[in-house]
Structure 1
Amino acid sequence: MKRIKVSSPFRPALLTAAMAVAAPAVQAAGDPGQIMARTCAACHASQDDGQYSRISQQRKTPEGWLMTIARMQVMHGLEISDADRRTLVKYLADRQGLSPAETAGARYALERRLNTLEAFDSQAFSETCARCHSGARVALQRRPASEWEHLVHFHLGQWPSTEYQALARDRDWLGLALSEMVPELAETYPLESDAWAQWQAAVKPDLNGQWRLAGRMPGRGEMSGVMTVAAKGQDRFSLSFEGCYTNGEPLRGEGEAILYTGFEWRGNLEIDGIEMRQVFAIDGNRLAGRMFEVEHDEVGFDIEGAVLAAGESALLALQPGYLRAGETAELTLIGAGLEGDIDLGEGVEVLQVLSRSDDRIRLRARAGRDAAGIRPVRVGETEGVSLSVYDRIASLRVVPEYSVSRIGGNGSSTPKVFGLFDAEAWAAGADGKAGTEDDYRIGIVPASWHVEPFDARAAEDQDTRFAGSIDAGTGRFTPGAAGPNPERRMGTNNAGNLKVVAEVRDGDRSLSGSGQMIVTVQRWNNPPIP
């Protein structure tokens, strides 16, 4: 298992280049065949059927192809315009991309979920590949054995110290990489696959129209809205969004998007003055992914969506997703084609429907005093969400349990990286004892927040004074400024090791939970795939 909090190369150069996978071209695109002949053929031999050596023996996501082209620019002096680079990323991702099934399980890297804990069945993979960058970067590409072997040699040639680093200098690294990892990678991530062949032949969805979205931002809460999509040709779209948080605060924005590989949605839009990016996977009449700030990709919404069209139905969210036994509360169902009877599960009664449309239902519900547990929720034939009914909170967890924040600003070229936290309440199972396998998740609850030194060294170094501060109401941590701090011992920077503590009142009881946050230095490498 590896803890990841990584970020992007060649800032700001590659961060600017990342717009190639998030926004339509600002000028007419050239012919991709001519662009490749002009920019690629000098180093890559032209083969039959318009193929090129090395290039045609790989499949990657849009971000993967962008990183390849950027590497050619940085390391080999490739000269290519922004417009031509956008054209090639689109061309290669469409023809040599990954199917939806092939990206499943590794999309957290594309969606910039940078506090993800990776775990792999192969110890050799973790020690050979996932020790320097995320394992997802490897899992999001496909090659034959010969190309995986090329990649091993490339790593050793580009970074000769690889053999002298931890998990390498105690073994025959190159021999093991070639004899064990290359066959494993070729079998696990082959160039040719049934999934890719089937996806290429599949009918792709029509994205025009309106999409109902439901989402949640850590420390900010739940929201919902409607995204209107209009085709502009060549898999490019204009889009607008109008919605609100559960407290009624509005969210509005407009922008543009592009579709790669028939399902990889990348959008840029401005919402209430903030530039945001969308990374979604389209699955028929559904979408899922993340929408986050361009300047602070740690700040964003987890998104579920469904098309609003005749004959389509989906249940996306129940807000909030919990109800205390014996109490009455207002709940909101978000979805599409929400027709038919409302069923909140055994022991839960719908008292009144306050408002109802095809995509949003507000109601008042009451849970019986003896009701407890997870209840499946249905509207007509539509299901997919659940309601947690509980009698009391048994334990509290801080999410994420382990995270990384980064100092920044103070005249430096990199911004601060915030820490965002939620308090997740859990109920005891049938045995009534907290901390057992029978426990079930209640949901995200309001909490009060503070930080403490994580250990004795953090206390001695006064990390709580220098590393930053946390908003007591939202759980949003703002790290300290970059650069040396003359007030600290030896004039060091504002790094620290903190315990993040959430406290919740449940009746006359007080509960707390905690997680660990490392406040560390700036991120200078920030690739589209960490």
Structure 2
Amino acid sequence: MKEFTLPRLTGGLLLAGFILPAGAVQAGDAEAIIQSKCVACHTQENAKPLQMSRMSHQRKTPEGWLMTIARMQVMHGLDVTDDERRTLVKYFADKQGLAPEETEDSRYAMERRLNTMESFESTNFEEMCSRCHSGARVTLQRRPASEWKHLVNFHLGQWPTLEYQALARDRDWMDLAFKEMVPELANEFPLQSASWDKWQSAKKLPASGSWSFSAQMPGKGDIRGVMTVSGGKEDQYKVTVEGEYADGSTLQGSGTAIVYTGYEWRANLTVDGVKMRQVFALSEDGSELTGRMFEAVHDEAGMDFTAVRAGSTPTLLSVQPGYIRAGSTDVLTLVGTGLGQQVSLGDGIRVVSELYRDGNKVVLQATADSKAQPGARNVVAGQADGAVLNVYDQIGSVKVVPDFAVARVGGNGGSTPKYNGYFQAEAWMNGADGQPGTEDDMRIGFVPAKWHVEPFDEQAAADRDTHFTGRMDEKTGVFTTAAAGPNPERRMSTNNAGNLKVVAEVMEGNAVLNAEGQMIVTVQRWNNPPLP
């Protein structure tokens, strides 16, 4: 048997393989690779356009196609180079991808938002599909009924004990899978769709240009800056990022990017010495990029990111910070493009002075009248709008975001890194009844807090979980987990897992407002695919 090299099956490392280096095999060679490397298992159904059994009857995201090709390598001995794999991913994602509206509800999986709590209307779907992996892995695929049936058979062949597991052994699993789930999946996620037909014929715009961006990162706060994109041949780009955090410290980085399916932006950058990824969606008119930028090794550490292309319709991305207290004077930064000279912050808010201006931001000193009516204000800078500023008179309550999180031990000489916890304190103003937790409460925004952890329950206290699981940074809300492996100091030398209560304390005048969340600290992420 011919030897071949197995791909390194970790999410970050496989994602790194997305970016095509200079001199790589180009997308035009994909069909030649398919005809030379795939015909051992797949039959050719048509020559022009090329159609192959199984593979031509599915549509997926770039991550989905990457996982499929990697599985062919691991399970079936497919012998392709890294460059050839990148070429195949590009080819399939462009030719058999998903339209923007087909991915919008499931992008959290591609963006590595791993604390997302999924919920689906179909109980069958939750019990049959999303009990072993994320439901998004399914919703980011499109197949005809025959291919959904093949997928059921694949699961049984690959995991023959599946029918004897929980939520399977207590029912006629096979009958349910074929007679109910296959029709449901084929109806909800069909191969043919009007949105995909429309997107295939839509004009695809290059991503080159200057982009003004606004971001928000747990532990660091608001971020703004400029991303410069050059190139575009074979949808490949060079990227530089220059920006600043809310505390005035700078952010600088550069790297390369590629666009799949006409809108799926993926980039590898080094930012301030840290390797990072970008998973963005380019808007259909080519004027905006939205998504998440996160560390390559610690993908839990990242920022929500929105960018607008310079020269497009005047747009106000954000006001940083996004709130002001009635009766106070603050420095506000407006971020966007085409920001006009005439700035309106809304009723009861006056611009005292303009401190700085360039093509991407305007820094203002503003005062909110002591009698300003609480609520959201639409902010306008010339013809640019799209952002709001929340006016409040008092913080009524605070929430921990996320209110439930999972962190993981790691490191300690092992192959898997730690997965830390990142928390923010979200302030709310009480509604008309003056009581927190009602429908008319107004979200103010993320505010500074003092952080600590406590045992979640009596068992956690008895096991001294707060001592062994890691340490919380009281200023940033970042929880750094402890080392992996058995700990001889713990009862029965167990590992450093635990159950913690996450507590935020926010000062409101002389009062302290508390908020609580929960964090499970558990074992390493042994299986870390591009789509969880």
Same fold (TM over 0.5): yes
Alignment of 1:277-296 (within 5 A): 277-283=277-283, 284-296=286-298
**Aligned residue identity for 2:33:** I
Instruction: Determine the C-alpha separation between the residues in 2 that align with 1:13 and 1:137.
Output: 16
**Aligned residue identity for 1:403:** A
1:89 matched to 2:86? The reply is: no
Check the 8 A contact 2:349/2:367 in 1, yes or no.
Answer: yes
Instruction: Determine the C-alpha separation between the residues in 2 that align with 1:86 and 1:313.
Output: 37
Q: 1:475 is matched with which residue: 470, 474, 477?
A: 477
Instruction: Determine the C-alpha separation between the residues in 2 that align with 1:431 and 1:345.
Output: 25
Instruction: Determine the C-alpha separation between the residues in 1 that align with 2:193 and 2:169.
Output: 35
SS in 1 for 2:309: strand
SS in 2 for 1:118: coil
1:495 matched to 2:493? The reply is: no
1:268 matched to 2:268? The reply is: yes
Check the 8 A contact 1:10/1:526 in 2, yes or no.
Answer: no
Q: State the partner residue of 2:38.
A: 40
Instruction: Determine the C-alpha separation between the residues in 1 that align with 2:381 and 2:36.
Output: 57
Q: State the partner residue of 1:355.
A: 356
Check the 8 A contact 1:338/1:360 in 2, yes or no.
Answer: yes
1:366 matched to 2:367? The reply is: yes
Alignment of 1:93-492 (within 5 A): 93-283=93-283, 284-309=286-311, 311-339=312-340, 341-370=342-371, 371-492=373-494
Runs of 4+ that moved beyond 3 A: 9-15, 22-26
* Distance apart, 1:347 and its partner CA: 1.8
Check the 8 A contact 2:470/2:479 in 1, yes or no.
Answer: yes
Task: Give the root-mean-square deviation of aligned CA atoms.
Answer: 1.4
**Aligned residue identity for 2:179:** S
**Aligned residue identity for 1:280:** F
1:53 matched to 2:50? The reply is: no
Q: 1:507 is matched with which residue: 503, 509, 513?
A: 509
SS in 2 for 1:21: coil
CA separation of 1:377 and 1:177: change in aligned 2, threshold 3 A? same
CA separation of 1:417 and 1:126: change in aligned 2, threshold 3 A? same
Check the 8 A contact 2:395/2:427 in 1, yes or no.
Answer: yes
**For structure 1, which segment, 160-169 or 268-277, has the greater mean C-alpha deviation from structure 2 after superposition?**
160-169
Instruction: Determine the C-alpha separation between the residues in 2 that align with 1:164 and 1:367.
Output: 64
* Distance apart, 1:84 and its partner CA: 0.3
Instruction: Determine the C-alpha separation between the residues in 2 that align with 1:433 and 1:185.
Output: 44
Taking structure 1 as the reference length, what is the TM-score of the superposition? 0.96
* Distance apart, 1:524 and its partner CA: 0.7
Check the 8 A contact 1:398/1:422 in 2, yes or no.
Answer: yes
**Aligned residue identity for 1:480:** A
CA separation of 1:13 and 1:287: change in aligned 2, threshold 3 A? closer
Instruction: Determine the C-alpha separation between the residues in 1 that align with 2:121 and 2:102.
Output: 17
Check the 8 A contact 1:24/1:236 in 2, yes or no.
Answer: no
Check the 8 A contact 2:57/2:191 in 1, yes or no.
Answer: yes
Q: CA offsets, 1:400-436, max 9 Å, x none?
A: 1100000001111101111011011111112222111
* Structure 1: gaps of 5 or more residues: 1-8
**Aligned residue identity for 2:336:** G
* Distance apart, 1:24 and its partner CA: 4.0
Check the 8 A contact 1:24/1:257 in 2, yes or no.
Answer: no
* Distance apart, 1:381 and its partner CA: 3.3
SS in 2 for 1:47: strand
Q: CA offsets, 1:503-530, max 9 Å, x none?
A: 0111111111010000000011000000
CA separation of 1:23 and 1:114: change in aligned 2, threshold 3 A? farther
* Distance apart, 1:348 and its partner CA: 1.6
Check the 8 A contact 2:42/2:54 in 1, yes or no.
Answer: yes
Taking structure 2 as the reference length, what is the TM-score of the superposition? 0.96
Check the 8 A contact 2:206/2:235 in 1, yes or no.
Answer: no
CA separation of 1:458 and 1:273: change in aligned 2, threshold 3 A? same
Instruction: Determine the C-alpha separation between the residues in 2 that align with 1:336 and 1:161.
Output: 56
Q: CA offsets, 1:267-296, max 9 Å, x none?
A: 011111111111000002001001111011
Check the 8 A contact 1:10/1:524 in 2, yes or no.
Answer: no
SS in 1 for 2:502: strand
Q: How many residues align?
A: 521
* Distance apart, 1:17 and its partner CA: 2.9
Q: State the partner residue of 2:3.
A: none
